[in-house]
Amino acid sequence: MEKVRLTALPREQAVARTSMVSSFATEFLEMKAKEPSVHVLLIPGNPGIVAFYKDFVEELYDNLGGQASITAIGHISHGKTDAERGRLFSLHEQIDHKVDFIEQEFQHSEQSLILLFALIISFFLSKAGHSIGAYICLEIFKRLQNKVKFCVGLYPFLTLDKNSMKQSAIGYIASLLIWVFSTEHVRSSLLSKGVSSFVSFIGSLRASVTRSIVRRLLGPSWSVTAVEATCSHLLRYHTMRNVLFMAMTEFTKLSEEPDWNFISAKQDQIAFLFGMDDHWGPLAHLEEISKHAPGVALSVETEGHTHGYCCTEAGSFWVADYVTGLIKNQNLIGNTR
């Protein structure tokens, strides 16, 4: 059921910025609280375009009553401009990038913790990851266990589902990409260049024409925010090349089993939200998690939102409510409403 907004007052807007992280231009979407009791770091899926999450970030910030700062960090070379001049980045290079950001941004967090506790305000880092972002979050959690308080996987893609026909089809395409990208001419492969060139051609048309094509292809349920993010970011040659390359490395890595020992050891600090009909994160994976780590907070969304929840306002609002409830249940913030 679509969430009804009870106020006509405009909500606070997220701020977009581009900053350097380990010498790579990185796009951010953030909202800073004056006295935060928690900092939520959002890791996107693939494509790793933070502009898709604008409605979600703003709704979550509003739900938390200004008690939390929120930062959404984009993937390298999934931005509007080709700052890295055609370089391709793998799944694990994107993970290293997020770890570098956390260490760079929160390197003095222990000193801040002492100061903030002195002011009766606690400061924690909580992570929310969407799709492959959930896998990235767990990998970051392993490396930075002393900095992460809680980890949330939204519609998680943690491992391949051998029974999924859709994943099998995508996996076949990925295997072709593996063959293409593993050759010497990886950076100039015809397959990748062809797909990316076609996509960027659509993006090069007059803005109104591109927007009309995107709206027709994606359907009327997609929000204005998602359509604009598609036109401004996804329909770029360098972005599509990196989306395809990252997808190839995802399928290579996620053919392995999840690290059940780690998930079990940290089960009180992990939550997953699954969808009813999500071929990326089927309910069979939920059942598997419950066997290995029964203490993990598992939920199933039954409102009819898709894996791409951030592409509709209704999905963004519903998931923001879900994450808000998790944060409150963890007693990381007080009552906000």
> Residue 27 and residue 156: Cα distance in Å, rounded?
23
Q: Is-contact 80 236, C-beta < 8 A?
A: yes
Rounded percentage of the chain residues whose pLDDT exceeds 90: 41
Q: Is 292 helix (H, G, I), strand (E, B) or coil?
A: helix
Q: Of 245, 237, 230, which is closest to residue 310 (Cα–Cα)?
A: 230
- Asked whether residue 74 is assigned to any structural domain, the reply reads yes
CA 6 vs. chain centroid, Å, equals 28
The enclosing H or E element of 110 equals helix 109-118
Total domains, the chain: 1
Confidence band of 24 (pLDDT split at 50, 70, 90): very high
- Asked whether residue 246 is assigned to any structural domain, the reply reads no
- Asked whether residue 4 is assigned to any structural domain, the reply reads no
pLDDT in tens, 71-113: 999 999 999 999 999 999 998 899 999 999 988 888 765 422 2
Range of the domain at 77: 15-161+257-329
* Residue-level pLDDT at 141: 85
Model-level pTM? 0.83
Confidence band of 35 (pLDDT split at 50, 70, 90): confident
Confidence band of 159 (pLDDT split at 50, 70, 90): low
What CATH number corresponds to the domain at position 132? 3.40.50.1820
- Asked whether residue 303 is assigned to any structural domain, the reply reads yes
- Asked whether residue 276 is assigned to any structural domain, the reply reads yes
- Asked whether residue 105 is assigned to any structural domain, the reply reads yes
Q: Which of 111-120, 271-280, 283-292 has the highest mean pLDDT?
A: 283-292
* Residue-level pLDDT at 119: 25
- 171, pLDDT greater than 80: no
Q: Of 323, 303, 324, 327, which is closest to residue 314 (Cα–Cα)?
A: 303
Lowest mean pLDDT segment, chosen from 105-109, 232-236, 288-292 = 105-109
Q: Of 79, 41, 78, 35, which is closest to residue 60 (Cα–Cα)?
A: 41
* Residue-level pLDDT at 254: 62
Confidence band of 124 (pLDDT split at 50, 70, 90): very low
- Asked whether residue 2 is assigned to any structural domain, the reply reads no
- Asked whether residue 196 is assigned to any structural domain, the reply reads no
